Amino acid sequence: MVPLENSNYLFIGCFWVSGKYKNQGHGKKLLQEAIKRAKKDSFDGLVTIVGKKKFHFMSDTKWLLKNGFEVVEETTDGFVILGLKINKKPFNIKIKECVKNREITKKGVVVYYSNRCVYSEVYILTSLKEVCKKNNIPLEINKLDTLQKAQNSPTLATIFSLFYNAEFITTDISVCLESKFTKLLKL
Residue 8: predicted pLDDT: 86
Beta strand pairing call for 94-95 and 4-5:
antiparallel
| pLDDT tens digits for range 140-152 | 999 999 999 999 9
**Strongest mean pLDDT among 17-31, 54-68, 129-143:** 129-143
- What does the pLDDT average to over 5-25? 82
| pLDDT tens digits for range 81-119 | 999 999 888 888 889 999 988 888 889 999 999 988 788
Query: Taking 90 as the threshold, does the pLDDT of residue 37 lie above it?
Result: yes
Query: Taking 80 as the threshold, does the pLDDT of residue 187 lie above it?
Result: no
- How far apart, in Å, do the first and last CA atoms of the chain sit? 33
Which residues, listed in sequence order, are joined to residue 151 by a DSSP beta bridge? none
Q: How would DSSP label each residue in 135-187?
A: TT--EEEEE--SHHHHHT-S-S--SEEEEETTEEEES-GGGGSHHHHHHHTT-
Query: Taking 70 as the threshold, does the pLDDT of residue 41 lie above it?
Result: yes
- What mean pLDDT, rounded, does the chain reach? 88
Spatial CA neighbour of 114 closest among 106, 101, 124: 124
Burial environment of residue 19 by CB neighbours within 10 A (0 to 12, 13 to 18, 19 or more)? exposed
Residue 162: predicted pLDDT: 93
Taking the model in full, what pTM does it have?
A: 0.85
| pLDDT tens digits for range 51-92 | 888 776 677 888 899 999 999 999 888 889 999 999 888 888
Percentage above 90 pLDDT, the chain:
44
Residue 145: predicted pLDDT: 94
Residue 88: predicted pLDDT: 83
